[in-house]
Copies of this chain bind each other. A is one copy, B any other.
Amino acid sequence: MVIEKNDRLILLTNDDGLYAGGLKTLLEVMEQFGKVVLISTVESMSGMSQALTVKTPLRVKLLEETDSRRVYACNGTPTDSVKLAINQLLERMPDWVVSGINHGANASVSVLYSGTMAAALEGCLYGINSVGFSLNNFSPAADFSACGEYIRIVMEMVAREPLPPGVCLNVNIPAASRQDIRGIRVCRQAKGNWKEEFEKRKDPMGKTYYWLTGVFKNHEPEATDTDEWALSNNFVSVVPVTVDMTAHWYIKNLKEKFGE
């Protein structure tokens, strides 16, 4: 693949591994927008957040190259993959970083744990227009056929008007048929948390171990301006996500407490 000056260069990644159906769908849509460098984690890396690999070496393998795409596998996390692609594999900075389509929603506070959104945040830190896409269906066999239309609408908007510095988009698509999806809603992240319910078991040696499970609790089910509400009501949710985690509104108050 030759990347010309006027080509739109798209870095595509995910956190469900190379063989995920969501990645395949997103690749097909992105090839309509430009030349694609896909770098995927080899295995599923769900819940890896913005983790970095610092104790073991990273390896990357070129798997496929055509006129319109290049496909790499990386043994690290989604964030490692984006860093490695930008710093070592790409001829120039990509125009977009696009991540997903995740198998499972990344609404509300799941943005903090999500490897898919971490990859978008990483692109955003490099000043690149970045978007993470997720489908509200955890199944490996999930039906992604309704996604393409909304991915195109979002990316056409990004193509027309770049995102402001430090902001990327978190797009969640309901697990519904095309005719049942009611359109796009720009939202805020719902307040909530995961109530962890560990499964406690005994191994064959009689020793205790735990599996992390968990149920999401929406703390504001009545609010109609949240991503959780949008998804529950069959809207595609679009949340602008910032890399700035400062609670700016609380700084003045905190200064007073410390006598500043």
Is A231's CB within 8 Å of the partner chain B?
Answer: no
Inter-chain contact A52/B193, CB cutoff 8 Å: no
Checking B51, B112, B240 against A121 with a beta-carbon cut-off of 8 angstroms, the contacting residue is B112
Give the chain B neighbours of A139 by CB distance below 8 A.
none
State whether A164 and B250 are in contact (beta carbons under 8 Å apart), knowing that A88-B200, A196-B87, A258-B238 are contacts in the complex.
Answer: yes
CB contacts under 8 Å to B, within A42-90, are 44, 46-55, 57-60, 77, 79-80, 83-84, 86-88
Stretch at the interface among A19-27, A30-38, A92-100, A202-210: A202-210
State whether A197 and B166 are in contact (beta carbons under 8 Å apart), knowing that A54-B46, A121-B112 are contacts in the complex.
Answer: no
Complex-state Cα separation, A250 to B257, whole angstroms? 30
Which bracket fits the contact residues of A? Answer: 35 or more
A102 to chain B, nearest CB (A): 14
Closest to A192 in B: B125
Stretch at the interface among A2-10, A140-148, A180-188: A180-188
Inter-chain contact B118/A49, CB cutoff 8 Å: yes
Complex-state Cα separation, A197 to B87, whole angstroms? 7
Is A222's CB within 8 Å of the partner chain B?
Answer: no
Give the chain B neighbours of A83 by CB distance below 8 A.
196, 198, 212
Give the chain B neighbours of A126 by CB distance below 8 A.
193
State whether A240 and B244 are in contact (beta carbons under 8 Å apart), knowing that A51-B49, A212-B53 are contacts in the complex.
Answer: no
The 3 closest A-B pairs by CB, nearest first: A47-B52, A49-B49, A57-B209
